[in-house]
Structure 1
Amino acid sequence: MVTPLPGAVGVSGLRVYEWATVDGVCGGSPHVHLTCAESYVVVEGSGRVQTLTGQGFAETALRPGVVAWFTPGTIHRLVNDGGLRIVVIMQNSGLPEAGDAVFTFPSATLANPDAYAEAASLASRDGVYAGDEDAARRRRDLAIDGFRELRGRVGEGDHAALTEFYRAAVRLKHDLFADWEQRWRTGALAAAHDTGEHLARLRVGDLGHLTEARIQVLESPAEQRFGMCGHLDVYDPSAGISPHSRRD
C-alpha cells in the first residue's frame, strides 16, 4: 500500500532559476498559494525570498541551513544570488499541483480567465507543451511585471491592492475548491485522523499499527520540470516507491 509522506506534505527539490530579470536580479515567478503554507530548507548557494503581505514588502536572506516558511496569502518571489538550491516542503500534498497557486500577472490578465490560462501555460507559441524554456521565461517575466505593479501600489499605501489581487485569485480558482477539499480530506486530514486512531489504540494496548511498520523509499525523479521558481524535482509517492531490501 502506498502511503503519503509524513503529515501528507509535498516535497520537491528546487534549483532556482538563474535567468536575469527586468529589475536586474535572477530568480523565479512571484505567486501566491490560497490554502497551502510553504517551507524552504536551504541546502546550497545564497539568495533571498521577497514577500508581500498586509504588513508590506519584506526580503529574507537565504543561505545553507536556513529554514523559512510562510502562510497562505503570502505573495513570494525567490531571488537567486548564486547557486541557490532548496528543498521545498508544502502543506497539503497534491494541492499545489492541483492549481493552488496564482501568478501575480498584471490586473488585466488576472481579470480574464482565458488570458490567465494562456499566460500560465508552459506551451510553446504553437500550442505544443514541451517543457519549453521560452514559455517558462515569458510566464516568469509577466508575473514579475504584475508583482512590481502590486508592490508599488502597496508601497504607496494603497491598501486595496492586495484585496483586489486576492479576490481575482479566488475568482480564477473557484471551480477547483471542491476538488481541493476532497484532496485535503483524503490527504492531510486523513493523516491527522490516523494519529488520533493510533493514540486511541495505544491507550488500550493495541499494537496493530506498530506491527505493520515498514519503510518506503522514493528514488530521485528521472527528470526536472520547469516550475514556478526554478528547475523542479517533484517527489510523488503515487508515482512508485522502491522497496527497502537491506536487512541488518
Structure 2
Amino acid sequence: MTTFEGLPGGVAVSHLRVYDWPATDGLRGGTPHLHLACSEAYAVVGGAGSVQTLTTSGFRQTPLTPGALVRFTPGTIHRLVNDDDLRIVVLMENSGLPEAGDAVLTLPPRHLADADRYRAAVALPADGDEPERERAARARRDLAVEGFLALCRATEAGDPAPLAAFHRSAAALVRPGIEEWRERWRKGAAAAAAATGSRLDALGGGDCGHLADAVVHAEQPSAHGRFGMCGRLDVYRG
C-alpha cells in the first residue's frame, strides 16, 4: 500500500508574526510577492491587519482579524499589512516547493531581467548577525513595495502590460528549477494523494489492514523567528 507520513495533503504550516516596519507609503508589513505553482491560505490567530492583493482583475484589500480564513491561488500578488500585532498560521500547498523558490518578489523591472541580479537583491546574508539580516530583509521588502505600487498604479489605470511583463519575468526566473519542483511534488502532495487512493482501494475491497499501522507524530517548530518574506516565521519540518 502506498504510504505518506507528511502533513495532511502535503501542505506546509508555519506561524507568522507580520513585520511592523513602515514602508514608503506609510503602511507597516511584509514583502509583496506571488507564487507560481502553489496556493496559500491565512488563518488569522491574533491582532489585526489586511492583505492587499493584485491580479488581472485589479487591486483588492481584505481585512484580517482573528478567525478569518483567506486563501488565494497562484498568480495572486499579495502583501500583508500589519495594523496591530498581526499573527497568522500560514498553510502552503505543495510543501517543499515554496522553500525551493516558488515565490517571486515584485521587485522593479531592473532587478528582474537578470537572475543573478534578482538573487542578489532578495538574498539575506547567510552568516550575518541579527541586525544585518534585518537590514537586508527590510531592503528587499522596500524594493518589492516599490515594484508592487507601480504595478497597482498601472493596473488601476487600465494598463495591463506591466503586470503581464512581471508574470513573464517571474516565470523565466523560476524555469531552471521546475524539474526539481516536480520531484518535490511527486514526493509530497502527489504521494499524499496517491496514499489516499490506495486506502480507498483497500477499503473498497474489504481490507482494513492499514488501520493497524496507525502512528502519531508530534513536533515543535524546527526554527523560531526566521526572517521570512512577510514576517518572522516559526516553521516545521513537516
Q: Report the TM range for the smaller structure's normalisation.
A: over 0.9
Which of 8, 29, 32 is 2:31 aligned to?
29
| Separation of aligned partners in 2, 1:2 and 1:188 | 9
- 2:194 aligned partner: 193
Q: How far apart are residue 196 of structure 1 and its match?
A: 0.7
Identical-residue share of aligned pairs (%): 53
- 2:227 aligned partner: 226
1:49 and 2:51 are equivalent in the alignment: yes
- 1:62 aligned partner: 64
Aligned residue identity for 1:180: W
1:112 and 2:88 are equivalent in the alignment: no
Name structure 2 gaps, 5 residues minimum.
Answer: none
For residues 100-159 of structure 1, give each alpha carbon's deviation from its aligned partner in whole angstroms, at most 9, with x where no partner exists: 000000011011211101001012xxx844451000000100100100111111111111
Aligned ranges 1:206-245 → 2 under 5 Å: 206-237=207-238
| Separation of aligned partners in 2, 1:26 and 1:217 | 34
Q: How far apart are residue 221 of structure 1 and its match?
A: 3.6
| Separation of aligned partners in 1, 2:75 and 2:128 | 29
| Separation of aligned partners in 2, 1:11 and 1:130 | 26
Which of 96, 99, 111 is 1:97 aligned to?
99
1:176 and 2:196 are equivalent in the alignment: no
Task: Give runs of ≥4 in structure 1 deviating > 3 Å.
Answer: 127-131
Q: Which secondary structure state, in structure 1, belongs to the residue aligned with residue 144 of structure 2? A: helix
1:82 and 2:94 are equivalent in the alignment: no
Name structure 1 gaps, 5 residues minimum.
Answer: 238-248
| Separation of aligned partners in 1, 2:164 and 2:184 | 27
- 1:243 aligned partner: none
Q: Which secondary structure state, in structure 1, belongs to the residue aligned with residue 151 of structure 2? A: helix
TM-score normalised per structure 2: 0.95
| Separation of aligned partners in 2, 1:2 and 1:204 | 20
Moved more, 173-182 or 153-162: 153-162
Q: What is the aligned length? A: 234
| Separation of aligned partners in 2, 1:55 and 1:70 | 13
Which of 15, 18, 34 is 1:16 aligned to?
18
Q: Which secondary structure state, in structure 2, belongs to the residue aligned with residue 100 of structure 1? A: coil
For residues 219-239 of structure 1, give each alpha carbon's deviation from its aligned partner in whole angstroms, at most 9, with x where no partner exists: 1345220000000011113xx
Q: Which secondary structure state, in structure 1, belongs to the residue aligned with residue 22 of structure 2? A: coil
| Separation of aligned partners in 2, 1:130 and 1:215 | 37
Q: Over aligned residue pairs, what C-alpha RMSD do you find? A: 1.4
Using CA pairs under 8 Å that are at least 6 residues apart, name the structure with larger relative contact order, 1 or 2: 2
| Separation of aligned partners in 2, 1:133 and 1:178 | 32
Aligned residue identity for 1:74: T
- 1:242 aligned partner: none
Relative distance call for 1:55 and 1:2 in structure 2 (3 A) is closer
- 2:5 aligned partner: 3
Moved more, 212-221 or 4-13: 212-221
Q: How far apart are residue 30 of structure 1 and its match?
A: 0.1
Aligned residue identity for 1:83: D
| Separation of aligned partners in 2, 1:222 and 1:104 | 26
Relative distance call for 1:110 and 1:12 in structure 2 (3 A) is same
| Separation of aligned partners in 1, 2:120 and 2:41 | 28
| Separation of aligned partners in 2, 1:232 and 1:6 | 20
| Separation of aligned partners in 1, 2:15 and 2:66 | 14
Moved more, 217-226 or 190-199: 217-226
- 1:139 aligned partner: 140
